[in-house]
């Protein structure tokens, strides 16, 4: 008997599975990681690819794009390593690239204070801090992508003559990978631009592992990522960019590189593929845990883990999702409206409505609906109310061990895959 301790909220869920029923147990691969985050970033800045920070920013108005508080990256250390290099700039504008996220979050305020602290330490006075707001900022139209996305960007960003971007990288279930492009679109674009871009998430090739910068040319097609790339190029209009990219794991850093956008990003994809991508034979039963808090703080957040592991379950199979969801269905009322309030509709009606008129956030309902219709059942062990769960076409699991036991009782030879930290991995099915 194998005893598993699986992440759930701030704690763990214990499950027992007979050894002969265990399939693959998958979680991010352990790789040598540096606890010296500052040193790793410093090395990256000192050995850039194709361009240098000083040549990009010298005597220019520089926009420093800083990822917002929804990103679990060491913002303070990143700022402390970057800011000493900014003296040659004419002036600086730090922009928190919130996209459609909440601009005034507590974590964003902490990042702003870290910017002020770092600038004061380095005697930088000619700077300002902007928190992008997709609804309230001032915007300017800069062009339309080949897929029809009208790109409207924060006018204050357009005042810049060069950009410096710090980007954490990981698998992304419809944009291919989280990477530098997201700091431009959706990062500093208006709500309608973001909504138009994200509507492309309904297309089958908008999935993880695919991106126009991927070193494997057979994996270049991804409508969302390609649209983001066109949008970024419209925003930049030949303005130079210096990128500091990294792959983090909890409090540590797995990899970091700096320099020109495409070669740095392409190398980052290879690192992610090596450390957090897996190929397994498809089976009828899988157990998925997004990775505990904050990955399972709401059903909206936890859904990402289903998307990143769904290739491992056969049609008409079953998934057991372990997601505490202490913050409920979704992080904001708007996200709930266009995620859950759609998901509780009859599924064919919901899919038709989204296809006819996409609204931001409904891509999550669409992908959930696709998966629910493909499978026999999705079980959810959670603190959410049972009625809330079952109204959304999901089966409530008061006791996850009983679900596992029932699978084995029905099929004594059942193979059960287990995915821990599923929000951080990508799973492909072997042929």
Report the phi/psi class of residue 250: left, alpha or beta, with left for phi > 0 and alpha for psi in -120 to 50: left
Helix (H) or strand (E) holding 223: helix 223-236
Q: 173: closest CA among 94, 103, 276, 95? A: 276
Quick one: pLDDT at residue 33?
63
Distance CA 188, CA 268 (A): 23
pLDDT value of residue 74: 85
Got the DSSP string for 296-350?
Answer: TSSHHHHHHHHHHHGGGEEEEEEEEEE---TT-S-SSHHHHHHHHHHHTS-HHHH
> What pLDDT score does 201 carry?
96
The predicted pLDDT at position 30 comes to: 66
Q: Which two tokens stand for residue 414?
A: 């059942």
Write down the pLDDT at residue 367: 95
Q: What pLDDT does 179 receive?
A: 95
Among 12, 10, 23, smallest CA distance to 418 is for: 23
Can you give the pLDDT at residue 332? 84
The neighbouring-strand residues paired with 170 are 178
Q: pLDDT, tens digit, for every residue of 119-134?
A: 999 999 889 999 999 9
Q: What is the pLDDT of residue 401?
A: 98
pLDDT of residue 178: 93
Instruction: Kindly report whether the global pTM for this prediction surpasses the value 0.75.
Output: yes
* Distance (Å, whole) CA 419 – CA 184: 32
The closest alpha carbon to 389, from 338, 333, 325, 346, belongs to: 325
What are the structural domains of the chain? 2-28+281-429 (3.90.226.30), 37-275 (3.40.50.11440)
- Please count the other Cβ atoms lying within 10 Å of the Cβ belonging to residue 19: 7
pLDDT (tens digit per residue) in 192-247: 999 999 999 999 999 999 999 999 999 999 999 999 999 999 999 999 999 999 99
Residue 397: the pLDDT is 98
Q: What is the mean pLDDT of each run of 10 residues along the chain (431 residues)?
A: 94 96 88 77 94 94 91 87 94 94 89 94 92 96 98 97 95 95 97 97 95 97 98 97 90 90 97 93 97 91 95 97 95 90 97 95 95 97 97 97 97 96 92 73
């Amino acid at each position: 008997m194998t005893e598993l301790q699986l992440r759930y909220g701030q704690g763990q869920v214990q499950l027992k599975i007979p050894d002969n029923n265990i399939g693959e147990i998958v979680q991010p691969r352990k790789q040598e990681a540096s606890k010296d985050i500052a040193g790793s970033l410093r090395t990256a800045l000192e050995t850039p690819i194709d361009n240098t920070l000083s040549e990009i920013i010298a005597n220019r108005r520089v926009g420093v794009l800083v990822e917002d508080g929804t990103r679990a990256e060491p913002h303070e250390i990143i700022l402390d390593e970057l800011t000493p290099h900014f003296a040659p700039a004419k002036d600086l504008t730090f922009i928190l690239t919130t996209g459609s996220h909440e601009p005034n979050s507590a974590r964003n305020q902490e990042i702003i204070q870290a910017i002020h602290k770092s600038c004061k330490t380095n005697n930088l006075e000619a700077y300002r801090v902007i928190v992008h707001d997709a609804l309230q900022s001032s915007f300017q139209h800069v062009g339309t992508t080949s897929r029809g996305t009208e790109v409207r960007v924060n006018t204050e960003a357009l005042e810049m003559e060069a950009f410096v971007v710090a980007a954490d990288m990981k698998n992304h279930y419809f944009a291919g990978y989280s990477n530098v492009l997201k700091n431009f679109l959706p990062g500093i674009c208006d709500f309608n631009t973001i909504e138009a871009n994200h509507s492309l998430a309904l297309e089958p090739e908008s999935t993880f592992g695919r991106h126009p910068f991927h070193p494997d040319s057979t994996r270049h097609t991804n409508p969302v990522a390609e649209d983001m790339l066109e949008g970024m190029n419209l925003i930049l209009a030949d303005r130079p960019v210096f990128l500091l990219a990294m792959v983090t794991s909890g409090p540590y850093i797995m990899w970091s590189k700096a320099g020109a956008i495409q070669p740095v990003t392409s190398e980052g994809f290879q690192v992610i593929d090596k450390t957090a991508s897996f190929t397994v034979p498809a089976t009828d039963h899988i157990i998925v845990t997004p990775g505990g808090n904050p990955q399972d703080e709401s059903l909206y957040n936890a859904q990402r883990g289903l998307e990143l592991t769904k290739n491992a379950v056969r049609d008409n199979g079953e998934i057991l999702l372990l997601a505490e969801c202490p913050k409920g269905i979704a992080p904001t009322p708007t996200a709930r409206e266009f995620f859950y309030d759609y998901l509780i509709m009859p599924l064919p009606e919901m899919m038709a409505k989204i296809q006819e008129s996409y609204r931001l956030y409904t891509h999550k309902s669409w992908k959930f609906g696709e998966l629910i219709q493909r499978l026999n059942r999705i079980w959810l062990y959670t603190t959410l109310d049972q009625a809330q769960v079952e109204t959304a076409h999901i089966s409530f699991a008061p006791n996850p061990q009983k679900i596992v036991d029932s699978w084995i009782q029905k099929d004594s030879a059942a193979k059960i895959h287990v995915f821990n930290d599923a929000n951080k991995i990508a799973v492909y099915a072997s042929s």
